[in-house]
Chain A
Amino acid sequence: MTTAIRVENLSKRYRIGLAPTKFRYGMLRDVFAGALRSPLARLRSAAGTTRRGNGGRPEDAAHIWALDDVSFDLEEGKVLGIVGRNGAGKSTLLKILSRVTEPTRGTVMVRGRVGSLLEVGTGFHPELTGRENIYMNGAILGMKRLEIERKFDEIVDFSEVAQFIDTPVKRYSSGMYLRLAFAVAAHLEPEILVVDEVLAVGDAEFQKKCLGKMGDVAQQGRTVLFVSHNMSAVLRLTQEAIMLERGHLARRGATQDVVDFYLSSGHARAGERSWQADEVPATSTPFRPNALRVLDRHGRVSDTVRSTEPMTLEFSYALLAPVTGLRVGMYLSTMRGEYVLTSFDTDAPEMFEKHGSRPAGAWVSRCLIPADTFNEGRYAVGVNASSFGVRRYFQDESALAFNVDISGAPGTQWPEPRQGPVRPRLHWDIQRIG
């Protein structure tokens, strides 16, 4: 087998306040101001007094290593899953692989064209028609004109927007827009395909199509890198995975093994997950997650809750500025990555009425889960904060995990495992009818 990707000692350093913020560019006056301020700092760093960890490398506190000495190989035709928390370095890795940004150290050898689905629809212009945007976008992605012409009908078919193909895309619904954008990117047919989070978009039907397309790509013997927070998709689509943690390669192996490790790692204190400042992407601003806790019936933080008792999921966060249309929600999923439920704090219209606009300050959203909900097992809690249709501030699909103990739950007199993630106390009616 030939190696499609060889990553050797890859490191990428960002200046803090440069990488993740929205307004990263400077103003000349900052440089002047910095020149006045910094002589002292420069002297200090020259004297080597501002050293920090990172393998003893001289380091000033103004930089972070988004990737730190990551090495791995990937054979041609393999599908590799990449998992990790927000800020673990997944996006940085993909950006280097797709040559958007340069590494600070190390090398990557890539055999063939890298097609990236980092963000679909790049270069789409609202004033151009669907047809024109297909050509435009195809060219940006590195397709030749002839190649686009050859695949044009296929792209239009895939996108399901055939009847609007000569309409400017600014008149498209966001779903149509995404479908068209994804269709172009999906038909690039690169030797190496990089997929990141795109599956979060579109309706369920379209998502299925996208996953199918990815499967096809893999079947044709091409190499795929798949980054997702959706563990069931990772499990379904990949046999091998790596996990990144704070820029390091934390684990590599069979997908099931890596996913298990991922879902159960990082929950340092049982039943609670708190976020340090460096774990929160600056793009989350003004939303700052603070902590997520699982509380038992008595309000105690707990790793294990009883299925026969109600429990509370408590998410505390800070708003650095007023936010309108905010909804904070939870995803519950099994350790296999199948969703059990999704719920938002403003799902009830009167709650949205009351708390749709929230002033800056410290907040907590609590969700009471009634007794007799879960079956035995371990469940992952994901959190999400967004303004619908406007912006997603923060998301962590596997923030925390907890166990459910079913003693006393319906049917436990029989010592057999029961299928399915829910175990409600249902009302049965038994009648003799003949």
Chain B
Amino acid sequence: MTMSELVKHEPSTVFIRPSTGLAALNLRDVWAYRELVWFMVWRDVKVRYKQTLLGMLWAVIQPVLTMIVFTFLFGRVAKVPTDGIPYPIFSYTALLPWGLFVTALNQGSRSLVAHNNMITKIYFPRLILPLSSVLAGLVDFAIAFLVLIVLMIIYGTRPAWSMIWTLPLFLVLAILTALGVALWLSAFNVRYRDVNHALPFIGQIWFFLTPVAYSASVVSEQWRLIYSLNPMAGVVNGFRWGLLGAGTGPDTALWISIVISFVILVTGLFYFRSMERTFADTI
């Protein structure tokens, strides 16, 4: 046995003691369990449409039907201005990141409570639960994205080529925002199940505060900065701008969104970590 093998086989020593103050984030532990993240995502995706008639088609049906309803209500009846883009594409482009966000928010916030049997029985970094539920939404997003390409071909919309780098960037922003909020809500949910009841409501209010059905340009100048405190406004505007070239592109409002999103994420991480020690006892 060589020296390096000896070192590798030396079992590591773990000290278990009460943690005090602001718990260290200990992200290395999450990294060590990265395979579990992958397995959880895979399981979520695999199980989500089990024993359904339409299976993965649901990932397409949901945003498409919403788009059709919106096109009728907001496009035809209310005639919402769309910066000259056909309304179906205009709304669908926003429904993609919004769908990803709201699914991640719902699944992520419920993830700890939903897996309480795991939490009370074995050790693993708890962060993996909200993280993998948030990531699982990406598969649905990818499927729904294919429909967008079809729509763009039908309407002859020319994509903005900057999407090659803007799309991943805004996608990451959407995920980080959802993760940040999910960290807060999932940890809070362990203690107070009020979260379960509040979630549909939160989703609805948030939806109206985000320019999905309408264009951000209808928000008057004086409210613009306050409006951009909602990080999802930045994400949705970014998607429209990146994919369709609509709107103004990156501006102060976007930076505000990004900063807010990071604040939620970082505070969420610390809050989650400090609550983590009591999860098994209170869930």
Contacts and interface: CB of A to CB of B under 8 A. Distances in A.
For chain A, the bracket of interface size reads: 35 or more
Contacts, number: 118
A140 B36 contact: yes
A125 B118 CA distance: 12
- For A100, A106, A141, which residue has the most chain B Cβ atoms within 10 angstroms? A100
A127 B50 contact: yes
A91 B13 CA distance: 22
B33 A116 contact: no
Contact of A106 (B17, B50, B119): B17
A101 B282 CA distance: 10
A308 B115 CA distance: 56
Contact of A142 (B12, B16, B33, B50): B33
Nearest to B276: A102
A18 B281 contact: yes
For chain B, the bracket of interface size reads: 35 or more
Contacts of A106: 17-18
A72 B252 CA distance: 61
A128 B43 contact: yes
A113 B11 contact: yes
B120 to A, nearest CB: 6
B14 A125 contact: no
B224 interface: no
Given A14-B281, A26-B192, A128-B46, A100 B123 contact: yes
Contacts of B283: 24-25
B202 to A, nearest CB: 15
A96 B194 contact: no
B194 A99 contact: no
A24 B18 CA distance: 21
B121 A102 contact: no
Interface stretch (A131-139, A247-255, A374-382): A131-139
A118 B122 CA distance: 8
A97 interface: yes
Nearest to A190: B11
A128 B43 CA distance: 8
Given A101-B280, A136-B43, A25 B191 contact: yes
Given A104-B18, A107-B16, A122-B118, 16 more contacts: A14-B281, A24-B282, A25-B191, A25-B192, A28-B192, A31-B192, A95-B280, A99-B123, A101-B280, A112-B11, A123-B115, A127-B46, A127-B50, A128-B43, A128-B47, A140-B124
